[in-house]
Amino acid sequence: MARINTNYQKLQAGYLFPEIGKRVRAFAAQNPAAKIIRLGIGDVVLPLPPPIVEALKAGADELARKETFKGYGPEQGYDFLLSAIAGHYREQGAQVEPDEVFVSDGSKCDTANIQEIFAADSLIAVTDPVYPVYVDTNVMAGRTGAADASGRYAGLTYLPTTAENGFDPPLPASRVDLVYLCSPNNPTGAVMSRDSLVRWVAWAKANKAVILFDAAYEAFIREPGLPHSIYEIPGAREVAIEFRSLSKTAGFTGTRCAYIVVPKELKGFDASGAEVPLHGLWNRRHTTKFNGVSYPIQRAAAAVFSPEGRAAVRANIDAYMENARLIREGLTAAGYAVHGGKNAPYVWLKVPGGLTSWQFFDKLLGEANVVGTPGSGFGSCGEGYFRLSAFGFRENVEEAVARIAAKLPAR
Ligand code: MLT
């Protein structure tokens, strides 16, 4: 008898974004004339810039010739990409060695998989609201009990990050072994300050805990002085794993390429309390379960760090951040209380009129034909909030803001 992993039965409904997709498809089927504008899932729309496409094509051409053909590559990534990534970290004031970088097919997968190298009974903390992958993968792994009526799982520590505390995650009040932090934050768009990260690094050291730091949106930080990497903080190499992605940074959501940094100094503990380097554990996991990102994609990824690639990627990010500004300012003028959107491609708004997040989702879709993401999908502290993504064509963003202001003003 093939018995299932019953932890899956604890999971709430469907995963957030497919669930939204399902509802939007149903609405579109019933309202074929509606011109729907999608600002829900954070998916890029601008094409890959020319220097990156040229590198992708050149990589493919190499595979077409006997002299330059490649089969399996190093699971961790080719040296040319690892060195480019480490060089980029150095420029940002963070020390990362090429052999501490592991190239992968996405930060969703990396942040989902990382929990495998930690004990099954590890105590986990997440912020609330939170990127759902961190929670669901720990539910699947059996680290939680059942969910309560608000969707919170027994056994997880939730750290409310709300407008009331300036979206700065508070330190856990009780013992925790692993904490997931995301900055710039998905969904709130808030960025953790240097002081806040210093506090977290000191906490992790004092508690022999590990910080799982998701920096997938670091390239969207505009304000000088805000940390792009947790490794800008002294001591962070001993307590943190960092995740980064080219998905939103460089338009790779379909192409797939991301990376994770596991510093050599970072240690976990075995059953006897002896220190064990996490780098070796992750290397073992990665080389057992993953065969590396394809060569042309890694060539394209390396081009992101070239002078031409950087300029082109920067132009696309500028365009998305201009969208974020349009959303922020347009909705503020329409009476909405908005957060984020200054150093992140997400705008987090308070739902007007006492509606729930999903009620607002339906109203926005039905009356303005605009798709967003209900805040409650990111956790109970997200109830009454709503996320709009700045990943769209400018003309669509302008139209979406105009429709919301006209049909659903917040005053
Ligand atoms: C989001 O909209 O939150 C992201 O696109 C989802 C993801 O990156 O997996």
Put residue 384 in one of left, alpha, beta given phi > 0 → left and psi -120 to 50 → alpha: left
Burial 48-82 (b: 16+ CB within 10 A, else e): bbebbebbbeebeeeeeeeeeeeeebebbbbeebb
Please identify, by atom number, the ligand 1 atom nearest to the C-alpha of residue 187. 3
The residues facing 147 across adjacent strands are: 153
Phi, psi of 163 (to 5 degrees): -60, -35
Mutate to test the pocket of ligand 1, among 186, 214, 247, 388 (most ligand atoms within 8 A of CB): 186
Report how far ligand 1's centroid is from the alpha carbon of 27 (Å).
22
| The token pair that represents 47 in the structure block | 């094409």
Residues comprising the chain, all counted? 411
Measured distance CA(372)–CA(400) in Å, rounded: 10
Measured distance CA(272)–CA(168) in Å, rounded: 35
42 touches ligand 1 (CB under 6 Å): yes
- The pairs formed by 144-151 with CB atoms below 8 angstroms and a separation of 24 or more are 144/7, 144/10, 145/10, 146/10, 147/10, 147/12, 150/380, 150/383, 151/12, 151/376, 151/379, 151/380
What's the confidence (pLDDT) of residue 229?
98
Within 13 Å, how many C-alpha atoms sit on residue 101's CB side?
23
What's the confidence (pLDDT) of residue 3?
98
Of 91, 111, 92, 90, the C-alpha closest to 100 is: 90
Please identify, by atom number, the ligand 1 atom nearest to the C-alpha of residue 43. 5
Report how far ligand 1's centroid is from the alpha carbon of 347 (Å).
14
Question: Could you identify the residue written with the tokens 């290397």?
Answer: 283
- The DSSP 8-state label assigned to residue 147 in this structure reads B
Instruction: Give me the tens of pLDDT residue by residue for the chain, a chain 411 residues long.
Output: 999 999 999 998 777 888 899 999 999 999 999 999 999 999 999 999 999 999 999 999 999 999 999 999 999 999 999 999 999 999 999 999 999 999 999 999 999 999 999 999 999 999 999 999 999 999 999 999 999 999 999 999 999 999 999 999 999 999 999 999 999 999 999 999 999 999 999 999 999 999 999 999 999 999 999 999 999 999 999 999 999 999 999 999 999 999 999 999 999 999 999 999 999 999 999 999 999 999 999 999 999 999 999 999 999 999 999 999 999 999 999 999 999 999 999 999 999 999 999 999 999 999 999 999 999 999 999 999 999 999 999 999 999 999 999 999 998
Mutate to test the pocket of ligand 1, among 17, 109, 133, 386 (most ligand atoms within 8 A of CB): 17
| The token pair that represents 407 in the structure block | 């049909």
Of 215, 214, 182, the C-alpha closest to 348 is: 182
Secondary structure of residue 236 in the 3-state scheme:
helix
Question: Could you identify the residue written with the tokens 């307590």?
Answer: 239
Measured distance CA(389)–CA(371) in Å, rounded: 9
Question: Could you identify the residue written with the tokens 């330059």?
Answer: 68
Measured distance CA(379)–CA(152) in Å, rounded: 7
| The token pair that represents 272 in the structure block | 């006897």
Report how far ligand 1's centroid is from the alpha carbon of 326 (Å).
21
Report how far ligand 1's centroid is from the alpha carbon of 186 (Å).
8
| Most distant pair of Cα atoms in the chain: their distance | 67
41 touches ligand 1 (CB under 6 Å): yes
**What is the rounded radius of gyration, in angstroms, for the C-alpha atoms of the chain?**
21
The residues facing 128 across adjacent strands are: 160
Residue 340 to residues 219, 353, 379, 389: CA-CA distances in angstroms? Answer: 15, 21, 17, 11
| The token pair that represents 230 in the structure block | 């947790």
Report how far ligand 1's centroid is from the alpha carbon of 105 (Å).
14
pTM here is 0.97
Measured distance CA(358)–CA(387) in Å, rounded: 11
Strand 240-245 relative to strand 210-214: parallel, antiparallel, unpaired?
A: parallel
Of 295, 266, 271, 297, the C-alpha closest to 282 is: 266
Report how far ligand 1's centroid is from the alpha carbon of 136 (Å).
14
| The token pair that represents 109 in the structure block | 């997968």
Phi, psi of 181 (to 5 degrees): -120, 145
Residue 34: Cβ within 10 Å count? 13
Phi, psi of 297 (to 5 degrees): -65, -40
Q: Which residues have a Cβ under 8 Å from the Cβ of 18 and sit 6 or more positions away? A: none
Q: What burial class does residue 332 get, using C-beta atoms within 10 Å of its C-beta: 0-12 exposed, 13-18 middle, 19+ buried?
A: middle
Residue 152: Cβ within 10 Å count? 17
Residue 109: Cβ within 10 Å count? 17
